[in-house]
Structure 1
Amino acid sequence: MGLKNHLFTFYYVVLLQGVISGIISGGVEFAIAYGMYQKSKNLVTLWAFPNTFSGDCALTLFIQVGVTWVTQELIVGWDCYRTNNEIIKLPDFLLAEKPRNWFAFLYFEVNRGLIYKDYEEKPTLKMYLRKNFAPYIKSRGNFVNFCAWIVNRAIRGLIFGVALFLIVWPVTMGIMAGIGHRIYGHDYYFNNYPTPQIAKLIYGFVIGLITSPVCSMVVILRNYFYIDNIENSSNFKGYIATVNLGEETLGGERDLEKHSSSSETPALLDDEPSVPVVA
């Protein structure tokens, strides 16, 4: 990778996805905190109810990570789909090893990458969405499969949220204890405005700044591993010729199933397990 590619990768992943997500998230959290605390008759305290700032931050983190993950899956997935996953160039060390253990495979959902039938044909948003929500449960309708897609994405976001929580939440509580006013024991209170609002703004910004780039990389790597696996199969050209984006073939798994009836099966199906509805 050259310097230009490194700079564009930084721009797309960190600035375009991370910073913008952080600004939006921080603004939303500020508005929510303003509505919750500004006119409240109860003190805003670090631990005690009813206005427990620690509880607010804990709940906020998991909700924000889940929503951000689902949103970024759609946004970054579309960028990858319409550019044949060439939106950015990744460092070689990230691409050297495909996920082999069961957890990494399930987390990345490698067999649900997206590919369109003709690289000379402009992909459409409608077809991208249809392929994205392609059946997880083939015997059920579109709504059930859409819900399954949401659940799968939210769970992956929440798994990341647990790791993020263990780092961000304790640090935030320590900072808030340092700027709060002690009232009894180990509890502290804050003025109803502006301390809680500013704290939530910064808190939301940090969560968005971290979560969006991580989700972006998961989506990009998933599609890279998916496409790389197919391109390395011996009859890749025959596979591309069989991919049909009409009513019969809407998603990555169904693309692979269609191809599996030919003389050779993509390595992905030989080496990896299928992905369940819930990790």
Structure 2
Amino acid sequence: MKWARNPFFKAPSANASQSSTTGDEPTATATEDDVEATAGASASPSNDSADNRPITASAEDAGLVKLRRPTERMTGHQKFYIFGLDGVGAAILSGGINFAIAYAMYTTQDTVAKPIRLWQLPNTLAGDAGVTILLQSIITWLIELLLVNRDLASGGVAPIGFIPPPQNRWLRWFMFLDRTAESATPGSVLHWVYFLASQVLRAFIVAVVTFCLVWGPSVGILTAVGTRSGGDWVFEKTWAPEIFKLVLGAVLGILQTPLFTVFWLARAGWALRTHEVLVTPVR
């Protein structure tokens, strides 16, 4: 997806010829050839303080987009961002939120009239697991869309430049490559609707794949901790449902969030390397 079509980025103008710099650093105009060079081979991935300095727009566009140069290998900052903040941090946050929701849902139940079961409604933990996987996948995708693109635009994290773009046409569609022109005017309500729908569709695909991988083992674990009764399994309102939701939320967080983060970081690197954003590098 071109940045011009992304409502979260206002791309620099196509006639940018000067960069906004600080101090007395020399500058250079970004042509199609030297964008590739500065975004790739000339950027030393081991020097965060110099070669990963922000790529800024022209003076008239200053402050809109401050993308950093794509890195040629995983930097320490990217590792912390992906696996620390968006890995361990996401697992703790997701697990805590799911624990709180389960506590509010199940501890207030009259388990005599409405037992908490594995399969049977109204309190079905198997159904709860399925809904959790679906909703958390979509919510996590949209949150990472906002947070990672915000950090990219502000120069808070560098794009990934060492992952090659896929060649499979379905993967290229999924990753917003080779898109055709849109009929909706950028910034219009219809454009926002198309944009949101395209994101939710991809998040739903991820949810289906995650469901196939995670839901079965989740149900298997529940059969091991529940009490067999009348062809089903029943659970006390504390603490089995709450701990189950905590673990499920944490597993989803640590599995999905780093992958979504890497996706957007790599997507930004592809956009820069294919000149979807016209920038003027700071030497």
Tell me the TM-score normalised to structure 2 length. 0.66
- Superposed counterparts of 1:59-78, under 5 Å: 59-78=131-150
**Aligned counterparts of 1:45 and 1:79: Cα–Cα separation in 2:** 43
Deviations 1:151-204 (A, max 9, x none): 21121111111111111111111111001100022x211101111011101111
Give the paired residue count.
207
Are the aligned partners of 2:160 and 2:269 in contact in 1 as well (CA < 8 Å)?
A: no
Partner of 2:274, secondary structure, is helix
- Superposed counterparts of 1:46-57, under 5 Å: 46-57=118-129
2:221 to 175, 191, 202: 175
- Superposed counterparts of 1:38-49, under 5 Å: 38-41=107-110, 42-49=114-121
**Aligned counterparts of 2:75 and 2:143: Cα–Cα separation in 1:** 25
Kindly indicate which of the two structures has a greater share of residues assigned to helix: 1
1:24 to 93, 99, 102: 93
1:227 aligns with 2:260: no
Residue in 2 that maps onto 1:261: none
Residues 139 and 7 (structure 1), Cα distance of their counterparts in 2 relative to 1, 3 Å cut: closer
Are the aligned partners of 1:110 and 1:225 in contact in 2 as well (CA < 8 Å)?
A: no
Residue in 1 that maps onto 2:201: 155
Are the aligned partners of 2:184 and 2:190 in contact in 1 as well (CA < 8 Å)?
A: no
Residues 15 and 203 (structure 1), Cα distance of their counterparts in 2 relative to 1, 3 Å cut: same
1:104 aligns with 2:168: no
Give how far 1:40 is off. 1.0
**Aligned counterparts of 1:179 and 1:223: Cα–Cα separation in 2:** 45
Give how far 1:88 is off. 5.8
Residues 230 and 139 (structure 1), Cα distance of their counterparts in 2 relative to 1, 3 Å cut: closer
**Aligned counterparts of 1:26 and 1:140: Cα–Cα separation in 2:** 37
Tell me the TM-score normalised to structure 1 length. 0.67
Deviations 1:65-118 (A, max 9, x none): 1011001011111212222x962656x4xx2x3222221111111368xxxxxx
Are the aligned partners of 2:117 and 2:124 in contact in 1 as well (CA < 8 Å)?
A: yes
Are the aligned partners of 2:99 and 2:246 in contact in 1 as well (CA < 8 Å)?
A: yes
The percentage of counterpart residues that share the same residue type is 27
Residue in 2 that maps onto 1:126: none
Are the aligned partners of 1:107 and 1:156 in contact in 2 as well (CA < 8 Å)?
A: yes
Give unpaired runs (5+ residues) of structure 1.
Answer: 113-134, 242-279
Residue in 2 that maps onto 1:87: 158
Give unpaired runs (5+ residues) of structure 2.
Answer: 1-44, 49-73
Residues 139 and 225 (structure 1), Cα distance of their counterparts in 2 relative to 1, 3 Å cut: closer
Give how far 1:141 is off. 6.3
